[in-house]
Amino acid sequence: MSSEPVAVVGIGQTHHAAARRDVSLAGLVREAAARALEDAALDWSDIEAVVIGKAPDFFEGVMMPELYLADALGAAGKPVLRVHTAGSVGGSTALVAANLVAARVHTTVLTLAFEKQSESNAMWALSLPVPFQQPLLAGAGGFFAPHIRAYIRRTGAPEGIGTLVAHKDRRNALKNPYAHLHEHGLTLEKVRSSPMLWDPVRYSETCPSSDGACAMVLTGRAGAARAPHPPAWLHGGAMRSEPTLFAGKDFVSPRAGRDCAADVYRQAGITDPRREIDVAEMYVPFSWYEPMWLENLGFAAEGEGWKLTESGATALDGDLPVNPSGGVLSTNPIGASGMLRFAEAALQVRGRAGEHQVPGARRALGHAYGGGAQFFSMWLVGAAPPTT
Amino acid sequence: MTPRDVAVVAFARSGHHEPADGLSEAEMLLPVLHDALDQAGLAPGEADFTCSGSSDYLAGRPFSFTLALDGVGAWPPIAESHVEMDGAWALYEAWVKILTGQAGTALVYAHGKPSSGDLRDVLTRQLDPYYLAPLWPDPACLAALQTRALLDAGLIDEAALLTDEAAPVPSADGHPSGTPHAPGARAATDGAAAVVLAAGATARRMCTRPAWIRGIDHRIESHALGLRDLTDSPSTRLAAERAGAFDAPVDTAELHTADAAQEAVLRRALRLDGTVTVNPSGGTPATDPVMAAGLIRLGEAAARIHRGASDRALAHATSGPCLQQNLVAVLEGEPAGHPGAEPEGART
């Protein structure tokens, strides 16, 4: 018995900022959810179940906050699932919600992810005390910078590649009214001369800390037929995990990422991602991760990702735009960052991305990763319903 | 209604009441995972899908669940997910995954190590962060509210409550292990649990008498205690209805409760009369490891079906203050003499 095709019929996100002092946690999630419902022309009563995700509860200091958020999410009397798969959680949450529709357990599901970093200190929440981690490994950048250096050494990439990515993504964010950072007048030189945080990652090449939420309404064939705007159809989705540390782990191009992409492409019938995918929203929290993921996801051969970035192919007017929304480098409510990638990919194939729309986008990839580059979740969405 | 038949084919849990001093979560989990996988005849990493439930707040560090993955054998990489919920909800996610057809087998596990901190303080962080958590009402305070509401409504009587709470609670091996405590104040222990799910013919191959999941549903209520009738559990009743619990009588019920008052609420919501054997596992849900306690109820109900001691069992899991969120599963074993060799998908 084949599963129900899954359609994204509603997408909403908050205006993201360093501190959304105007809203509580409940107000933040409700803002995103209300926009998604409005986009789908549905009411709270049309939602059968809620699947919510966020990164560690320590970020806000609320244990299992979905319990407290049940009222804000209109969930009383409904099922609520709470997903936590580290940084990939926004993507994983959407996939868990999609499965409820695919399995025909529910017909219409609200999925939502959030983070309110201003009520927390993610830098130190991510700096584990000894003996779990060596001291002075401050923040995620301290963990990932050595892997970026390994990439540069392995591929011989010139040092300016990260600067290009940061400049591109921050310029793209100027076209996205919801993005956290709107750096008018940003130049390559300004990125290049910003302070060094974790060699080779400079201040302007790292993601901000944001307050924000993202929500989507997922439904099946009948729901899609009733939707007022074109849906995005799920053509493939997968999650893969591998341990944090082990002998032989390739931090530069983790096998879990490659396997996850291969699974998604197989489901979607993609054999040449570079030609068949029109736009990608990838989880790039540090500039250099764009060329690294281009290789890991099969858009470029091993060692060639930086050349794709350098050629301008990943710019908004290139032939493979990457992160037209401005990406994680411009907006980073950690738990929601993955869902924003998934949602922005869906917006592109729905033709509803506004000023950062890639003309004629038919197939888009949403990508998220987390933990020690060990948790991956991805989906491929299309403007046309799946044929199988 | 389900397009595929899915069963619990294996269940394992760590020993009762042993603080896991000096053990990491992965070390606590490893023997339990191996026990469950061995029962199902699966090698580590061989299940099509893996899903777990735990809470960072017990370990006192973010991403604690990522280290538990070391005990799973996630190499080559595996299709895996995690809920920041009791493992019963991890089982639900895995069940849905199997229903989609994307997986035929799933490993589900959960672990909790409350000895790492003061659980009574930790659980207050679960409450509304703006209006309730600053008052630090611990589980005993909230349990007292619920118990008082039940006493006032005449739904329980004080004498029975005292008897129940003060009586030594027999553990699975028959030794008394409980000590008298105020409602909701019994100390939870460290531990882990694991379950293997499988669909159709695979389940029959792995287990002589699979515990077929005839339905699972879960529902949440408002977080605000003042908006709820603490003497009732409408979410449990609705979940039970949706899971088909009232379609036919059950012979067994495994209930995840913190105290006698909650058991009284659940017995009423689930319409359990004297004919139903409640918590025959001898477990003491109140002292089972936090985050694994609900999965243990499901596992114990399944194990009873595996052994032939039950034909139709209800399993319940809860989360949040005063039974805020509830999951109900209905499990069935096939009658003796059932051909048991139908091809997968033949049953609908």
Give residue-wise pLDDT tens across range A10-53: 999 999 999 999 999 999 999 999 999 999 999 999 999 999 99
* Contacts B76 to A, Cβ<8 Å: 242, 255, 259
Q: Which residues pair with B105 in a beta bridge?
A: B198
Contact A296/B at CB under 8 A: no
Cross-chain CB nearest to B81 (options A61, A67, A83): A83
Give the gap in angstroms from C-alpha A167 to the nearest C-alpha of chain B: 31
Task: Report the pLDDT value the prediction gives residue B173, as an integer from 0 to 100.
Answer: 39
Task: Locate A40 and state its tokens.
Answer: 């789908």
Q: Is B326 helix (H, G, I), strand (E, B) or coil?
A: strand
| Average of per-residue pLDDT across B237-243 | 98
pLDDT of residue B348 exceeding 50: no
Q: The complex's ipTM?
A: 0.96
Q: State the CATH class of domain B6-117+186-332.
A: alpha beta
Decide: A179 and A331 in contact? Cβ < 8 Å: yes
Q: B65 and A84 in contact by Cβ < 8 A?
A: yes
pLDDT, residue B189, reads 87
Q: In this predicted structure, which of A79-83, A149-153, B259-263 has the lowest mean pLDDT?
A: B259-263
Q: So where are chain B's domains? A: 6-117+186-332
- What percent of chain B lies above the pLDDT cut of 70? 86
Q: Which among A24, A64, A372 is the nearest to B84, CB-wise?
A: A64
Q: Which pLDDT value is given to residue A175?
A: 98
Closest CA to A71 of B88, B316, B119, B320: B320
Cα–Cα distance, A333 to A331 (Å, whole number): 7
Confidence (pLDDT) at B63:
82
Question: Sign of torsion, CA B298 B304 B306 B309?
Answer: negative
Give this prediction's pTM: 0.95
Give the per-residue pLDDT at B64. Answer: 83
- Cβ contacts of B92 on chain A, cutoff 8 Å: 81
Indicate yes or no: CB of A104 within 8 angstroms of CB of B66. Answer: no
Q: Please, what is the average pLDDT of chain B?
A: 88
Contacts of B100 in chain A (CB under 8 A): 3, 99, 102-103
Q: CA B80 to CA B44: how far, in whole Å?
A: 13
d(CA B40, CA B123): 35
CB atoms B320 and A57 under 8 Å = no
> What is the pLDDT of chain A when averaged over all its residues?
95
Mutate to test the interface with A, among B52, B83, B95 (most CBs of A within 10 A): B83
pLDDT higher at B1 or A246? A246
* Chain A contact set for B223 (CB, 8 A): 67-71
Query: Which secondary-structure segment (H or E) carries B252?
Result: strand B252-254
pLDDT above 50: residue B82:
yes
Provide the pLDDT confidence category of residue A56 given band limits of 50, 70 and 90. confident
pLDDT band at A139 (very low <50, low <70, confident <90, very high): confident
How far apart are alpha carbons B227 and B162 in whole angstroms?
Answer: 28
Mean pLDDT computed over B145-159: 92
Q: State the maximum Cα–Cα separation within chain B, in Å, rounded to a whole number.
A: 59
Closest residue, chain B, to A103 (C-alpha): B100
For residues A313 and A290, the answer to whether their CB atoms sit within 8 Å is: no
Burial B277-287 (b: 16+ CB within 10 A, else e): bbbbbebbbbb
State residue B175's pLDDT score.
34
Question: Which pair of tokens denotes residue B63?
Answer: 């991403």
> How high is the pLDDT of residue B186?
57
Tens-place pLDDT, residues A255-310: 999 999 999 999 999 999 999 999 999 999 999 999 999 999 999 999 999 999 99
Q: Does the beta-carbon distance from A371 to B127 stay under 8 Å?
A: no
pLDDT in tens, B167-204: 434 333 333 333 334 444 556 789 999 999 999 999 99
CATH topology of domain A7-122+209-226: Peroxisomal Thiolase; Chain A, domain 1 (3.40.47)
Lookup: tokens for B248: 């036919």
Judge residue A188's burial from the number of C-beta atoms within 10 Å of its C-beta, 0-12 exposed, 13-18 middle, 19 or more buried.
Answer: middle
B168/B182 Cα distance (integer angstroms): 13
Asked if B122's CB is within 8 angstroms of A63's CB, the reply is yes
B318: closest chain A residue by CA: A67
Instruction: Report d(CA A56, CA A335) in Å as an integer.
Output: 8
User: What is residue B70's predicted lDDT score, i.e. its pLDDT?
Assistant: 84
